[in-house]
Amino acid sequence: MVPLIGRPRLKFSKAEYQAEVSEIESVGTSLLTLSAVDPDEGPNGRIRYSLKGGEGRFSVDPVSGVVSVAGALDRETKAEYNLQVVAEDQGRPARSSTATLLVQVSDINDNIPEFSKAEYQAEVSEIESVGMSLLTLSAVDPDEGPNGRVTFSIFQQSPSSDPAVFGLDPASGTLQLVQPLDYSEVQEYRLMVQFCVFSPHVSLCRYFCVWSCRVWICDCKPLPAPVILQNYYYYYYCCY
C-alpha cells in the first residue's frame, strides 16, 4: 500500500462544469465528459466517477466520466440542477476530488396556452365612440421567450359585417370598437376569438384555440325634449 503522505494529488481538470440540455432530450443522451487527473499508477491512479444530487435525472459512467440524461426533464417544473461530481481513485486509503456541475434545461414549445376565462362578456352603449376599449383577453403560457408569446385574433363575428365592427390587438388582446353601433339593427354580437403560438424560426402556428366572446349593445338615447328647471337644462338618458 502506498502511503497517503507524498502521493500526488487527484484533481479535476475544472472546478466547475456546465451543460445545457433540451427538456425533450431522451434518456441516455450524453451531456459532457468529466475529467480528473491522478499521476499515480495502478489502483492508486485508477479513477471512478460519481454524482451527488440531480434528483435522479442524470447519471455518470464511473469509468469514462460521461454524464448522461437518466430521467425525464421538464423546464416548467425545474429549469436547472446543481450537482456535485466526485472523482475517487482506488488506492488504500482512497483519495478523492470534487467539482460542481450546473445543468440548465432549455425550453421548447410543449405547453398549450389557456384563456383565463371560459367566456368573455362585455356591454357597450350604442353611442360609444369608435376606438373605445371593451375588454382585454388574457392567455397563460408557461413556456418562456418566443415559445410563450401568444397572438390574438378574431376568428369569426356573428352577425358578420364588412368592415368588421370590432378589432383585436394581436399582442395585448385588447378588444376595441372600430365601427359605430346601432341598437336598432343589432343587439348582440358573438365573437369567436383565437390565440396562436408560433414556434421559433417556423412561420406556422403551432397551437391555436378558439374561444367565445359576447358583446351586448345598450340602447341609450336622449328623450326628445329637455326639462327646464330654474334656468338649468337636464337631459335624461334611458338605458335598457
Say how many C-beta atoms besides its own lie within 10 A of residue 7's C-beta: 17
Do 114-222 and 11-106 fall under one CATH topology? yes
Residue 60 in grid coordinates: 455518470
Instruction: Give CA–CA dist 166/36, Å, rounded.
Output: 66
What percent of the chain shows pLDDT beyond 70?
82
Instruction: Give CA–CA dist 149/156, Å, rounded.
Output: 22
Instruction: Say which amino acid occupies 166.
Output: F
Whether omega before 200 lies within 30 degrees of 0, making that bond cis, reads: no
Residue found by looking up cell 451543460 in the block: 19
Write phi, then psi, for 44 (nearest 5 degrees).
Answer: -65, -25
Q: Is the pLDDT of residue 204 over 50?
A: no
Q: Read off the pLDDT of each residue in 158-177 and give the average, rounded to a whole number.
A: 94
* pLDDT, the chain, mean: 83
Instruction: Give CA–CA dist 194/207, Å, rounded.
Output: 10
Instruction: Say which amino acid occupies 117.
Output: K
Identify which of 131, 83, 133 has the alpha carbon closest to the alpha carbon of residue 104: 83
Q: Is the pLDDT of residue 207 over 70?
A: no
Find residue 154's DSSP bridge partners: 193
* Domain-wise residue ranges, the chain: 11-106, 114-222
What percent of the chain shows pLDDT beyond 90?
54
Domain spanning 11-106, CATH class: mainly beta
Residues in the chain: 240
| pLDDT, tens digit (0-9, with 9 covering 90-100), for 32-58 | 999 999 888 887 889 999 999 999 999
Domain spanning 114-222, CATH class: mainly beta
